[in-house]
Structure 1
């Protein structure tokens, strides 16, 4: 069963620049390791209540792209959930395997609109209690493009088991975390359209060094 929206992540061109941006918003590094086999640095940042995964390759491919490109969910039965979802027709991307970090197992599939979805099964817990020292109070939502809105609603609501927010029919929650489906999506330059951050005051949108957009939602 899928029980947690664990992180939103993707490759970064300049790890130091990305870290400077996110820590400038109040994020803290809660996990960092180097995967020898792929020569990739993996960093988990916690921003208020949510996890952001940055992946920096020491040997990026010439055609590599950068920016947040997937959303990760925790499951207590990776093989069963992967088989169930791909059996429903969702595209297989990476079948279940041991993670490159050696921490548990993972698999990737595609949602009905082409968003990469990672399924994880591991015992490690990187999330710490909510970080409230900065101006960001909560990672309010991960914004996903959903040209086929009905299919996305079925995927996240029915098949992933997220609950629909009664105050916003386009938002689906699991625990304290949420995805927000957009049809049409606001202009964006990365596969994950943007992150919505609940803040103490209104601010203009910002972009990190990889083009990821963040929208600041003032707390009521």
Structure 2
């Protein structure tokens, strides 16, 4: 069976987004460096999966090429052990949790970051 290795997302500031994700989810920076189109990438996540964060040399929200466009996806789903503690961290970063749902088999909420990326945070505990 195949497994998802990573998602590559264009963001305005790779360092700021990586710092936020590390703080909220306990992730680590796996790699950082120069990348395609003279941009910069940071790989942040767990030992087995990660988000590849990419920033082009100039901020171009309306570009047709996906590497020059922010938020070209619906949402990123993250599983956590303690939903309430993670929600408190999300609020501490100034994000507004929304769409809380209790469903079988877990609980979840969503929030949007400054890049326009929606995150779904879910716990099955």
Q: Which of 103, 120, 123 pairs up with 1:215?
A: 120
SS of the aligned residue for 1:38 comes to helix
CA contact (8 A) 1:17 1:209 kept: no
Distance 1:212 1:61, change over 3 A: closer
Q: Deviations over 1:118-162 (max 9, x none)?
A: xxxxxxxxxxxxxxxxxxxxxxxxxxxxxxxxxxxxxxxxxxxxx
1:210 to partner: Cα distance? 0.8
1:201 to partner: Cα distance? 3.0
Distance 1:201 1:41, change over 3 A: same
Segments ≥4 residues shifted beyond 4 Å: none
Residues in 1 aligned to 2:38 and 2:121: alpha-carbon distance in whole angstroms: 34
Whichever of the two has the greater Rg, that structure is: 1
Distance 1:62 1:11, change over 3 A: closer
1:48 to partner: Cα distance? 7.2
Task: Give the structure-1-normalised TM-score.
Answer: 0.38
Q: Deviations over 1:70-127 (max 9, x none)?
A: xxxxxxxxxxxxxxxxxxxxxxxxxxxxxxxxxxxxxxxxxxxxxxxxxxxxxxxxxx
Q: 1:4 matched to which residue of 2?
A: 3
Instruction: Decide which structure has greater strand share.
Output: 1
Q: 1:86 matched to which residue of 2?
A: none
- Cα-Cα RMSD: 2.5
Identify unmatched segments of 5+ residues in structure 2. Answer: 64-68, 88-96, 98-109
Task: Give the structure-2-normalised TM-score.
Answer: 0.61
Instruction: Decide which structure has greater helix share.
Output: 2
CA contact (8 A) 1:199 1:216 kept: no
- Establish whether residue 24 from structure 1 lines up as the match of residue 23 from structure 2: yes
1:16 to partner: Cα distance? 2.7
1:219 to partner: Cα distance? 3.5
Residues in 2 aligned to 1:18 and 1:206: alpha-carbon distance in whole angstroms: 14
Residues in 2 aligned to 1:61 and 1:50: alpha-carbon distance in whole angstroms: 28
Q: 1:66 matched to which residue of 2?
A: 70
Q: 1:184 matched to which residue of 2?
A: none
